[in-house]
Structure formats: C-alpha cells, structure tokens
Chains A and B, each alone.
Chain A
Amino acid sequence: MSDADWSAVYLTLKLATLTTVLLLLLGTPIAWWLARTRSRLKGVVGAVVAMPLVLPPSVIGFYLLVLMGPNGPVGQLTQSLGLGVLPFTFTGLVVASLLYSLPFVVQPVQNAFEAIGERPLEVAATLRASTLDAFFSVILPLAKPGYLTAAVLGFAHTVGEFGVVLMIGGNIPGATRVVSVQIYDHVEALEYAEAHWLSAGMLVFSFLVLLSMNTLTNRRKTA
C-alpha cells in the first residue's frame, strides 16, 4: 500500500475515534432524556435522532454542504465565531460524522438505560446517592454493555461512512480523504489492485468488529 493509502487509513481511524468519543459524551444526555422523559417531544426527538438510519447519505451530505457553506446558517455562525467554514476540513467531517453516526450510539445506550429502569435510581436515592452520584456509581456500570455496543457500532459506522464525506470532504489528503473515498478513487482510476488491498482490509475489519460484538454478547449471556 502507498503512503496515500496509509494516510487515508490513519485519517479514518482518527476520525472514527474522535467521533466515537464525542458521541459517547454527547449521546449520553440525549439517550438519558429519551429513556426517562414522559414529554410529548420524545417521539419527535427520537425520530430526529433516528433519521440518519433511513436518510440516504447523499441527503445528509447535500444539506450539510448547503447549511455549513458560507451562505448557509451554520456557515454564517461558524464564520462569525472566527472558525471559517466547515466543508473541506477535518472538523467538518467530524461534525458530519457526529450526525451520521448519532443513532448508532444513542440507541444502544438508550436501550440500556431503559432496561435498567427507575428502580436502581430509587434504591440509590434511598442509600443517600444524589441522581448524579447514582448515574456514575450505578447507572454507568450497569449500562456498560450498552456503551460497548454503542462504541463499536459508532466507530464501525464512521469508518464505513462514504456518501457524506464524498459530498463535503473535497478529497483533501490528510484532512478529508478517508479510506472509503480512497477506495472509490482507486476503482474510478481503474487501480483495482490498490482498491483490493484497502477493500479487503475493510472487509476483515468489519468482520472482526461484528465477531467481537457477538462474542461479547454471548459471553454476557452465559456469564
């Protein structure tokens, strides 16, 4: 594999890691709220979070390009904050990936919170733990399997991201040229050998991810 290929691999891992960490942080309050609220807005927010599951990446990419562009509302905001515009930047890819992989992180965590239910919080409260204390001392440890699933899915889904990156990335080596785009370029340029290396790598990676998840799930069931 060429340097350009390795650079794409490194960039992809960096993007996926950063996105996953940020999503676990940002997704937790959203999942918490969705799991516990009785608000009528729950349906609406839940649907918005789940939207990337059904929307074609081209739709997300197109709207991000327009919204984050210099004339879009997000672009105007980032410009006024002195951040410039986000398309064609690594930051822009992170923002896009956060949106794109959001449901893959929020939903497993939300499911875990829902399965835990109210009772452990009530028990913790009668044992002198405030809600925040109980969240860290009881809920988080109990939700660990959910977090593990969320992290694996969020990471893997970000690695597999293509359409959105294609539309807002601008194919800049080291900043926005991720593995999936690099593969696309190789195929387009009829460089099938190079495409095979990266594609086979992705294939093995995806298999290992799913295998490790299944193994973990099974081990939990038998434990």
Chain B
Amino acid sequence: MTVINGPTAGTKIDTGKQRQARITGFILLGIAILITLFFAPDAAGNATFRLSRPTDAIPVPNLVVPGGPFIYVAATILAFLGVRQFLHGGTKWTSLSLGIGLAIAVAAFLVWATAGKAFSLTGMLQATMVRAVPIALGGLAGVLSERVAVVNIAIEGMLLAGAFTGALVGSLIGGFGGLAAAIAVGGVFGFILAALVVTYRMDQIIAGVVINLFVLGFTSYVSSQVFAEYRSLNNAPVFRSVKIPILGDIPVIGPMFFNQNIFVYGALIMVAVATYYLFHTRLGLRARAVGEHPRAADTLGINVYRTRYINVTLAGMVAGFGGAWFTLGSVGRFDEGMTGGRGFIGLAAMIFGRWHPVGALAAALVFGFADSLQQKLALLQTPIPSEFLAMAPYIATIIVVAGLVGRARAPAADGKPYVKE
C-alpha cells in the first residue's frame, strides 16, 4: 500500500509504480501475442462497419477495414506499448497505456469477428448507452453515499425496489406517476439505510446486505403472491425514445446520446448535476469533508449526521430512478430479482471510476459496451463459445481493477460510523 521512495530500491524492494508498470507491460504483451496467434490467421477479408442506418437523415459511408493488416498493426502497437512499460515503467503513462492497449485489443477483436461480414456500429453504441444506464445510476448512487463515508452495498436492493415500484404504480396511474413513486421509494430505502447506520450505528455492510435481502424477499413475495393473480397490476407503460431534433441526426453518436428515452437523458443530467454539486458547491464541499474527516467537519460546525442523511437519501432516489429503468424503461413488467446484480456492477463502476460521477458513468459505458458487444457478437457467429463472450466484461473489469486503478483511494472515513462527542 505504501510507495517506498529513495535510493534503497534494489532488486527486492520495488516501488509500487514500477511493479504496476511491469504488470501492465506483461498484460499488454500477452494480449499482443494472443492477438497475433489467434486472430491474425483467420481474419481474412474486410470487416465492414455500418455507421448509419437506412433511415438516418445524414448517410455516412461504411467503414471498411482490411482484417489481416489491421490485426498485425494492432499487435505491433500493443507490443510496443508493453515493451515500453517494461523499459520505462513507473511513469505517468502506465494507466494511459493500459487504457489505449485495451481499446486497441477490443478493436482488433471486433475486426477479427467481423472479418468478411458487416456489422452496425451505430446500433451497438446505442445499445451500449441503454445498457449503461442502470449501472451508471447505481454507480452514481454509490458515489453520493460513499462521499459522505457511508458504504452502500444496498444499491442492488434500491434498484430492485425502484423497478418494482415503477411497475406497480406505473400500472395504476401511468408512467410518470410510476417514475415519481420509484424515486420516492428509492429515497425511502436510502433514508432507512441512513437511519440504520447513522442513528442506530449498525455495521454499514450488514445494513446494506439486509436491505438487499429485504427488498428481494418483499418484491419476490408480492410478485408471486399478488402479481401472479392480478396481472393488470404488473403491466406498466414503457417510455419510448424521444429524438432531440438536430442533435439526434449527428452521425454515429447522435443515436447514442440524443435518440433515447427519458432514462438516458436523466442519467446524463444527473451525472452532470452530481459533479457540479459535489465539486463546485458549498454543500458538496461539506459532504466531501464529512466523508474524509468527519470530526474536523463537525468541529467546523457541519452537521455530520444531517449531511449523511441527506446524501444517502439522495443516493437512494438516484438508485430508485435507475431501478425504474428495468420496468418503465424497457419491458414494463416486473420479474423476481430482475436487476441481476447490476447494483453490484454499479458498485464496481464506482470504484473503477474512482468515486467520481463522470468516472462512474465512463466505467458504466465500458460495462454497457461489453454487454451489447456480447449480444451483437452472437449474431456474427464467432467460433468463441457465447459463455466466454459473456465472461469478457467481467474479466476485463478484473484486469482493469488490478492494473489500472488497483490502488484507487476511497474517501478516508469510508465505512466508519461517526459518534458525536
């Protein structure tokens, strides 16, 4: 955990950065070799990426990449980056190299999988954004509560509660009512979490696990006890995509950002607002102070308990909104345990994004990309078993967490209860 500086660095004692650089170099070289061995031999023909759809206002020609040459070029760049890490490791380029390296690896993989076929890049980017929404909102909820030093394992439960409420209330009084109710219920669970850990000083992780268990139990119970019988209670309207006039026509990224439903716009706005709130307002500064050093914050007259209550409740509301995506934003129907671990992936996105809203969104996009990639690749019929494709995002997360942000720093007081003297 500590970086040892100074002239003592012999063979045994290593600075953390150098070691990290060597690990990165090793990973990059490994990928380069893998690509040359496995992808190059059968990447015959051109890979065609469709950048626009027939209905688009501004047609863009297809991007055609020659398979074989591209892969050799990619492998060369990767090998260069890897060797560079070995020779001049420990500089600030380590993280950047790994990031670029992984991006090149993904590109090479795509070219290999599409070689001789055609593939809609625009469609995949649009799906990426959609699938990133619950993860990004889960991650944002994590950022909001961990910045005030409350570990939020309960995101999964809050998402599920939002999904459930959205379906139930949405079926009764319509989409917007359902959305408002989902946000409110998410907020209630946020408040309960705050009450348990702040006022009743329960262990934060236990409190989170308990909320997850409770929500899973309650929603599954109602869904099998009530929804099975009264189907009309579980048939909510779905928010359709709304195209923003001019921006939505921009080629490639237009459909990704500006032709989506209310949840995508909401997530983008919330990330922006949360960034502004946390880093550019007085209240945000106070919240972060509570997360880093509650006693000092208390001494300065900041009400630690109230700050934690407010921020964790806000986090719950964000997660409730994200949860509504599962029902009101996609299928309109609630199924038991339908969040499927997205809350935990959101937590990973939060750490991956270094406890920053924008970072969490970026990390969520990586997950969303991997998620939609796997779905599209099933159509391309690659020889790789679909199970391994499905694993890829998780393996990538592990590699990234180990190599890129291995020592990301959480707020200093994260997870500790504060007892006012």
Do they bind each other? Answer: no
B interface with A by C-beta (< 8 Å): none
A interface with B by C-beta (< 8 Å): none
